[in-house]
Amino acid sequence: IQFTGSDTVGKIIAAEASKYLKPCVFELGGKAPAVVLDDANVSEAARSIAWGAMLHSGQVCMSTERVIVQRNVAAALQSELVAICGRLTAGDHINEPSIKLSCLFSESSAANVLTMIAEAKSAGAQVLLGDMKKDGAIIQPHILSGVKPGMRTWDRESFGPVIVISVVDTVDEAVDLANTSDYSLTASVWTKDKFKGLEVARRIRTGCAMVNGPTFVYEPAFGHAGLGGATGYGRFDIENFTVKRAVIMNSSPCVYPLVE
């Protein structure tokens, strides 16, 4: 069974499949973190994060949903993200070329995204960008700061044009926060020190981590998959869709001396 969708539905399918010992390959979503270290090129990181978060109005499993940034560059990064995303408008992008973002796939999805934002705000998060309103299934880009584990905007996939930001002091804190998630699909690390970037990327528990690149990435030779949890398991590749068998031909009859 191959399924792409929410982890809620994935659990139901897995439970039914287990009755028949049926193997499954699940891609169930993501909550991709972008870790921005204090020596990163902030402008490049901001452009990549905005693209990764807003493409298709955030309705992609690899969307950049969480930004974890070291304190020394946090203000600059937040300012650039607000400036970039503030120039984006959601609406009828087919008939109005100036509009870059589409609506969400349903009004209930838009309502859920706004509820998640409202919950985070009431729990202490700040809304840096966004009007917290919807027009049918259309919502504008939103950016929140001060978001923490335990808030749904941190814990659950929003599937909307939303970026949540958490500020940390150390690299260890950044890695711990990146790994504080049930999802394990993609991640990115931003730093001018490529060796540090590789070291940090290896510590983030994710199927694919990009150094100085967007979370929105796919490597065909590697397959598309997370490492379990709410992202699912298995890979969309020939290896996982092939039943392996063995047929052994003996050149001469086997001799079993113990039963002669």
Are residues 140 and 177 both part of a single domain?
yes
User: Is there a domain that residue 225 lies in?
Assistant: no
Are residues 12 and 94 both part of a single domain?
no
Are residues 68 and 17 both part of a single domain?
no
Are residues 208 and 238 both part of a single domain?
no
Annotated catalytic residue 219: no
The model's pLDDT over 64-75, given as tens digits with 9 standing for 90+, comes to 999 999 999 999
Taking all residues of the chain, what is their mean pLDDT, rounded to a whole number?
Answer: 92
Are residues 106 and 3 both part of a single domain?
no
What's the CA dihedral at 155, 156, 161, 166 to 10 degrees? 0
User: Is there a domain that residue 161 lies in?
Assistant: yes
One of 16, 27, 173, 219 is an active-site residue; which one? 27
The model's pLDDT over 113-136, given as tens digits with 9 standing for 90+, comes to 999 999 999 999 999 999 999 999
Are residues 236 and 206 both part of a single domain?
no
Are residues 50 and 68 both part of a single domain?
yes
The model's pLDDT over 242-260, given as tens digits with 9 standing for 90+, comes to 888 999 888 888 777 765 5
Report the alpha-carbon distance of residue 86 to residue 70 in Å, rounded: 23
Are residues 127 and 168 both part of a single domain?
yes
User: Is there a domain that residue 226 lies in?
Assistant: no
DSSP class per residue in 140-209: --EEEES--TTSHHHHS---SSEEEEEEESSHHHHHHHHTSSS--SEEEEE-S-HHHHHHHHHHS--SEE
Q: How many Cα atoms within 13 Å fall on the side-chain side of residue 60?
A: 19
Are residues 237 and 216 both part of a single domain?
no
Are residues 21 and 71 both part of a single domain?
no
Output the domain CATH number for residue 115: 3.40.309.10
Containing structural domain, residue 255: 1-28+232-259
